[in-house]
């Protein structure tokens, strides 16, 4: 569940956000604010992951408010009628920029971007990530992963007992995996360091599986694995 707040000085705009958020099962709109000052106090007291933020506010521009909270662990989706702030909004690393009036479909698209980002941040206690398989989000226990294979824009995550298929690139997967536990060994393969049992000239052995080891990655792979075993 993504905990969110909305900040807008227009009651009708907040009503739209409340109505849309109620239709999204993984977003809980905890509170709405007409003032950035009130919202700031709330942010310091409550664990919020997402802010729907208007830009033209009477007490402070939404872009200035976003700068103020840049150190907080919160994502921002701007909701505004002013297209001229779009470039500045994305410079502030806003996750999305919704131009009013926007429909529910566009709102849901933005929420899905937040879900993908939040779900794919590895949790150190659970040692897991979420990936999307078809229409479902599936938890991947990193302790169970042997290797990950790429085929065009699909990834096949090979665990001890199952294989999960998700639509991602190798680079995208590497960006969410803990680098101390996984390493790229080929343009199409990532392996779990703990799963490697044997290093050969052109391949790695992981239990009953073998994975190609490309020459371009060999030195880095050997350094990671041999240093890990010292």
Residues 114 and 11 in one domain: yes
CATH number at residue 70: 3.40.50.2300
Residues 205 and 171 in one domain: yes
Residues 152 and 202 in one domain: yes
Please answer whether residues 106 and 98 qualify as being in contact, where contact means their C-beta atoms are separated by less than 8 angstroms.
yes
List the domain range (segments joined by +) for residue 105: 2-119
Residues 103 and 155 in one domain: no
pLDDT tens for each residue of the chain, 230 residues long: 889 999 999 999 999 999 999 999 889 999 999 988 888 888 877 888 899 999 888 888 888 888 877 645 688 999 888 777 666 666 677 888 888 899 998 899 889 888 877 766 655 444 778 888 888 888 888 999 999 999 988 999 999 889 999 988 888 888 778 878 899 999 999 999 999 999 998 999 998 999 999 998 888 888 888 864 44
Residues 60 and 109 in one domain: yes
Residues 86 and 139 in one domain: no
Q: How far is CA 1 from the centre of its chain?
A: 14
Residues 11 and 114 in one domain: yes
Please answer whether residues 207 and 146 qualify as being in contact, where contact means their C-beta atoms are separated by less than 8 angstroms.
yes
The pTM of the full predicted model, rounded to 2 decimals, is: 0.55
What's the number of domains the chain is made of?
A: 2
CATH number at residue 214: 2.40.50.1020
Residues 177 and 105 in one domain: no
The helix/strand/coil state of 70 is coil
Residues 103 and 86 in one domain: yes
CA-CA distances (angstroms) from residue 58 to 12, 20, 65, 121?
A: 16, 24, 12, 35
Residues 115 and 149 in one domain: no
């Amino acid at each position: 569940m993504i905990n969110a707040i909305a900040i807008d000085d227009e009651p009708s705009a907040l009503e739209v956000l409340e109505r849309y958020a109620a239709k999204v099962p993984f977003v809980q709109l905890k509170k709405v604010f007409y003032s950035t000052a009130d919202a700031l106090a709330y942010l310091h007291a409550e664990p919020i992951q997402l802010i729907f933020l208007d830009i033209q506010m009477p007490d402070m521009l939404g872009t200035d408010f976003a700068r103020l909270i840049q150190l907080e662990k919160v994502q921002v989706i701007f909701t505004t009628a002013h297209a001229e702030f779009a470039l500045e909004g994305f410079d502030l690393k806003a996750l999305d920029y919704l131009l009013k009036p926007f429909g529910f479909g566009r709102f849901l698209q933005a929420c899905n971007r937040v879900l993908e980002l939040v779900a794919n941040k590895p949790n150190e206690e659970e040692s897991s990530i979420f990936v999307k398989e078809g229409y479902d989000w599936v938890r991947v226990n990193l302790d169970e992963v042997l290797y990950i294979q790429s085929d065009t824009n699909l990834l096949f995550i090979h665990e001890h007992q199952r294989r999960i298929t998700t639509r991602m690139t190798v680079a995208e997967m590497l960006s969410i995996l803990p680098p101390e536990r996984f390493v790229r060994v080929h343009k199409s393969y990532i392996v779990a360091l703990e799963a490697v049992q044997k290093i050969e000239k052109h391949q790695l052995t992981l239990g009953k599986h073998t994975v190609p080891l490309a020459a371009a990655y060999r030195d880095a792979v050997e350094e990671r694995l041999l240093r890990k075993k010292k």
